Amino acid sequence: MPRVAKPLSDVHVRKLSFAVTAAGKPKAALHPVGGVAGLRLQVSPPSASNPKGARSWIYKITIGGKRKEMGLGSYPGVSLKDARELARLKYESIKSGLDPVAEQRAKKAALVAEQAQHITFAEYSKRFINKQAKEYKTPEQVRRLTHQLTEYVNPHMGHLFIKDIKREHIVQFLTPIWEGKNHTAQRTLRYVRRILQQSIAEGKRTAANPAEWRGDIELSFPKASKVAPVEHHSYIEWTILPTFFKELATWKSAHTASEPITKCFAFMILTVARPSTARLADWNEIDLNNAIWTIPAGGDRRKVTSDWQIPLTKEAIKLLKSLPSFTTQTGRLFSRLDGSEIPANTLPKLPRKLGYDCAAHGFRSTFRTWGQEQARFTEEVLELCMTHKNNDATRAAYARSQLLDERRKVLNEYSAWAVQGKQKNNVMPISRRNKS
């Protein structure tokens, strides 16, 4: 054991002071206090945060051939007597083959890890919302995420530490909404599963994700198909589409402020696009020379997983040239009169304002029934006109350049019917032909 300095009394220790450099600048000083070799009191100069100067115990010892030091607490919170006793205990640990410095670091790391897990679901979900806000394209998506977590999840488990959430808590928040608001329940469960998975990845919890549906949570609920059967979007018969188109134009004239919205709706019909896809269309996606609209993959076009080309008919191009944005051909095709984005819930409301009980998305079904009635278009071409690429036939067609020319012929006929009520060669729909 190293030479022990002369033991100082508590009175002497209280009088120990910081040091001063040759230039007269104060600096911290280490004072041996005796009783245990290597035990020192570090005295720091006064500072703005500590006018009296900090005083703390430092124990220097050789462990495994290396000189190390460890803190034993501050003085006078830890008295001289207690500091000597702590130093003796550390020395005995080293003699028995332990490394108190490594133990101290391990305990500190464990404490930090434990404290990191002391975050509630409500607190942690705010981080998830902030992250998603940077990925989402519209404020509406952020609002919906925030509302569903606040309304349906937090009352049941928002106060719980994220590490303590169990399967029963997931079942608790789902039970009141599973049958009455099934679509919302499924979406909210996906949010919660992602939040908990993120917390596992970040070390906030060590247990498995309790929000897994397959083989777990699904066992506690009836099938969604039984409590909330899929409801298809309501649509208008294709035979009255020209009438709707005329009324759309008439209503536009009577409601000037709605003109961008009605034109967006008309463009949606002529291109058989989804409402969100048409609403967010940008001029950098439009090639007027080749009459093609290229929808980029990703973003808010969630159904479009790869760049997709839509032929533009002469009616669609005429509509585009009538837009205020045509003069610059930059930015969104369709904006409200104040230049802001058309809200996501605007297009769905428009048909009912015109007196039609149908959904905006339902106009894609109108196109599909029109195509089936013509009896001269193949299934794969009609499916590709709707950007459906999920079956073998359309997947094969996609490999053959998306059948762009064939789709252009279909959309030209459909646009002529929608805008002018013209049918090619006056072909009678199948449903109206004589079946003699």
> For domain 238-432, which architecture applies?
Orthogonal Bundle (1.10)
pLDDT at 430: 36
Domains 10-100 and 121-227 share a fold: no
Most confident segment among 181-195, 255-269, 344-358:
181-195
How far is residue 414's CA from residue 293's CA, in Å, rounded to a whole number?
17
Of residues 68 and 41, more confidently modeled: 41
Q: Which two tokens stand for residue 360?
A: 């905006």
Mean of all residue pLDDT scores within the chain: 83
pLDDT mean over 150-166: 93
pLDDT digits (tens, 9 = 90+) for 217-260: 999 999 888 877 655 557 788 899 999 999 988 876 556 556 78
- Sign of the CA dihedral 299, 301, 302, 308? negative
pLDDT mean over 323-330: 92
Instruction: Please tell me the least confidently modeled range out of 100-114, 149-163, 350-364.
Output: 100-114
Domain definitions of the chain by residue range: 10-100, 121-227, 238-432
pLDDT mean over 194-218: 92
Q: Which two tokens stand for residue 8?
A: 């100082």
pLDDT at 52: 78
Percent of the chain beyond pLDDT 70?
A: 83
Of residues 17 and 411, more confidently modeled: 411
Query: Is pLDDT of 295 > 50?
Result: yes
Query: Is pLDDT of 353 > 90?
Result: no
pLDDT at 435: 33
How far is residue 148's CA from residue 398's CA, in Å, rounded to a whole number?
38
pLDDT mean over 62-70: 76
Query: Is pLDDT of 130 > 70?
Result: yes
pTM of the model: 0.52
How far is residue 367's CA from residue 74's CA, in Å, rounded to a whole number?
79
pLDDT at 112: 63
pLDDT digits (tens, 9 = 90+) for 212-225: 999 999 999 998 88
pLDDT mean over 136-153: 87
pLDDT mean over 80-91: 86
What is the pLDDT confidence band of residue 141, given thresholds at 50, 70 and 90? confident
Helix H, strand E, coil C: the string for the chain is CCCCCCCCCHHHHHHCCCEECCCCCEECEEEECCCCCCEEEEECCCCCCCCCCCEEEEEEEEECCEEEEEEEEECCCCCHHHHHHHHHHHHHHHHCCCCHHHHHHHHHHHHHHHHHCCCEHHHHHHHHHHHHHHHCCCHHHHHHHHHHHHHHHHHHHCCCEHHHCCHHHHHHHHCCCCCCCHHHHHHHHHHHHHHHHHHHHCCCCCCCCCCCCCCCHHHHCCCHHHHCCCCCCCCCCHHHHHHHHHHHHHHHHHCHHHHHHHHHHHHHHHHCCCHHHHHCCEHHHEECCCCEEEECCCCCCCCCCCCEEEECCHHHHHHHHCCHHHHCCCCECCCCCCCCCCCCCHHHHHHHHCCCCCCCCCHHHHHHHHHHHHCCCCHHHHHHHCCCCCCHHHHHHHHCHHHHHHHHHHHHHHHHHHHHCCCHHHCCCHHHCCCC
Homologous superfamily (CATH) for 10-100: Integrase, DNA-binding domain (3.30.160.390)
How far is residue 338's CA from residue 282's CA, in Å, rounded to a whole number?
17
What is the pLDDT confidence band of residue 137, given thresholds at 50, 70 and 90? low
How far is residue 223's CA from residue 178's CA, in Å, rounded to a whole number?
10
pLDDT digits (tens, 9 = 90+) for 369-381: 898 887 678 888 8
Instruction: Please tell me the least confidently modeled range out of 21-30, 164-173, 294-303.
Output: 294-303
What is the pLDDT confidence band of residue 333, given thresholds at 50, 70 and 90? very high
pLDDT at 1: 47
pLDDT at 391: 53
Query: Is pLDDT of 157 > 90?
Result: yes
> For domain 121-227, which architecture applies?
Orthogonal Bundle (1.10)
How far is residue 186's CA from residue 292's CA, in Å, rounded to a whole number?
37
